[in-house]
């Protein structure tokens, strides 16, 4: 298969240009292009350039409004609320971020909520952004229903990731926990469906509730929760924060993040920022270092997020290899 090599600047430009051609205004296209760059940088291909044709399709069919202007309000001192206006979540997050970080520093703890929003890319990147500001970041985002409750067949909650990032005291993240309620991200199944590849039988169920290795049958059925009922419980927790608390659509009512069917998904996000110095003072850093060392001192272990950091160093040096068929899809979009 023909391939081309790109550096990360090229990746960001490629994404921004494709979104602009699909009628995304600069304030909408730029943060999504940056998110695409970060996903490719960390080796998360399922959320990188692969998603650009989907974004373009959704701009053209009206699932995402390319000229949307987010509206920011602050109903309480520790609450920043953003109406993403059915634009990309990234633009809404950027619009509310300055007030959000200011509220965290003023109050010690604050939350940023988004409604009438959309897929926000790699959730861990938003948590890490808080860690880079020296803050503890806890983030939630809901998605269209794709996971049935244990014993059931009808999806109720989405893959519903949550992420936690801890500052390292030097402008970075000591660790980033980023995991979904499902056994695997749905985008991984979509990627294999496009490539005509089978999936492991523990990833998903078909519409009849049976394990399947067919990605198309999986997309018509439901995702398996990670850890059985515990995974469904985690997904339900995220749904309560990112949909119910944020005033966004339940996953039950959200249109799919793939394909042109349905209007804007109207999903939501909640980001909670905490200034550790307001709670444990100078004790936070040493305690976190000791906790992290208790993990990394054991042979064969690594902190959550370490694999992405390893990918980052390699890809920043070597660049990104992009299949020509994906470039063709981006050009066609």
**Which pLDDT score is estimated for 258?**
85
* pLDDT for the residue numbered 150: 84
244-279 residue pLDDT tens: 999 999 999 999 998 899 999 999 999 999 999 999
Catalytic residue (choose from 27, 35, 40, 47): 47
Q: Which residues contact 295 (CB under 8 A, 6 or more apart)?
A: 301, 302, 303
d(CA 223, CA 202): 9
Q: Is the pLDDT of residue 286 over 80?
A: yes
Asked if pLDDT for residue 303 goes beyond 80, the answer is: yes
For the chain, give every residue range classified as CATH 3.30.60.50.
185-224
pLDDT of 135 above 90: yes
| Mean pLDDT of the residues in the chain | 95
Active site residue 182: no
CATH 3.30.1370.60 boundaries in the chain: 3-182+225-293+305-332
Neighbour count for residue 216 (Cβ, 10 Å): 13
3-182+225-293+305-332: CATH architecture: 2-Layer Sandwich (3.30)
Which pLDDT value is given to residue 131? Answer: 98
User: Is 271 or 196 the better-scoring residue by pLDDT?
Assistant: 271
Mean pLDDT, residues 92-114 taken together: 98
pLDDT at 271: 98
> From the candidates 58, 86, 126, 188, which is the catalytic residue?
188
Q: Is 58 a catalytic residue?
A: no
pLDDT of residue 7: 96
Helix, strand, coil content of the chain in percent (nearest 5): 45, 20, 35
Residue 302 and residue 326: Cα distance in Å, rounded? 33
Give the Cα separation of 161 and 180 in Å (integer).
4
* Pairwise CA distance, residues 82 & 139, whole Å: 15
CA distances from 122 to 36, 108, 134, 142, 151 (A): 9, 26, 20, 13, 30
Is residue 40 annotated as a catalytic residue, yes or no?
Answer: no
Q: What is the pLDDT of residues 37-84, one digit of tens each?
A: 999 999 999 899 999 999 999 999 999 999 999 999 999 999 999 999
According to CATH, the topology of domain 185-224 is Wheat Germ Agglutinin (Isolectin 2); domain 1 (3.30.60)
Question: Exactly one of 46, 132, 213, 277 is catalytic; which is it?
Answer: 46
Please tell me which residue, 196 or 103, carries the higher pLDDT value.
Answer: 103
């Amino acid at each position: 298969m023909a391939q081309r090599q790109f550096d990360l600047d090229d990746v960001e430009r490629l994404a921004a240009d494709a979104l602009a051609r699909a009628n995304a205004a600069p304030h909408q296209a730029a943060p999504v292009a940056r998110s695409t760059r970060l996903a490719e940088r960390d080796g998360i291909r399922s959320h990188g350039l692969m998603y650009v044709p989907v974004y373009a399709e959704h701009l053209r069919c009206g699932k995402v409004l390319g000229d949307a202007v987010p509206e920011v309000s602050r109903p309480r001192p520790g609450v920043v609320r953003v109406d993403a206006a059915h634009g990309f979540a990234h633009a809404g997050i950027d619009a509310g971020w300055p007030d959000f970080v200011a509220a965290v520093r003023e109050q010690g703890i604050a939350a940023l909520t988004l409604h009438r929003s959309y897929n926000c890319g790699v959730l861990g990147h938003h948590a890490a952004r808080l860690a880079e500001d020296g803050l503890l970041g806890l983030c939630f985002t809901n998605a269209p229903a794709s996971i049935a409750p244990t014993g059931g067949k009808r999806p109720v909650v989405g893959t519903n990731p949550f992420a936690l990032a801890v500052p390292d005291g030097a402008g970075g993240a000591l660790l980033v926990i980023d995991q979904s309620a499902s056994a695997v991200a749905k985008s991984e199944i979509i990627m294999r469906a496009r490539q005509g590849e089978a999936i492991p039988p523990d990833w998903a169920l078909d519409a009849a509730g049976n394990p399947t290795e067919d990605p198309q049958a999986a997309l018509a059925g439901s995702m398996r929760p990670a850890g059985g009922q515990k995974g469904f419980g985690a997904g339900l927790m995220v749904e309560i924060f990112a949909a119910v608390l944020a005033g966004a659509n339940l996953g039950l009512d959200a249109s799919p993040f793939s394909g042109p069917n349905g209007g804007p998904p109207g999903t939501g996000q909640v980001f909670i920022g905490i200034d550790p110095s307001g709670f444990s003072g100078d004790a936070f850093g040493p305690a976190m270092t000791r906790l992290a060392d208790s993990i990394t001192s054991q042979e064969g272990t690594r902190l959550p997020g370490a694999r992405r950091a390893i990918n980052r160093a390699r890809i920043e040096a070597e660049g990104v290899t992009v299949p020509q068929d994906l470039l063709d899809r981006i050009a066609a979009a």
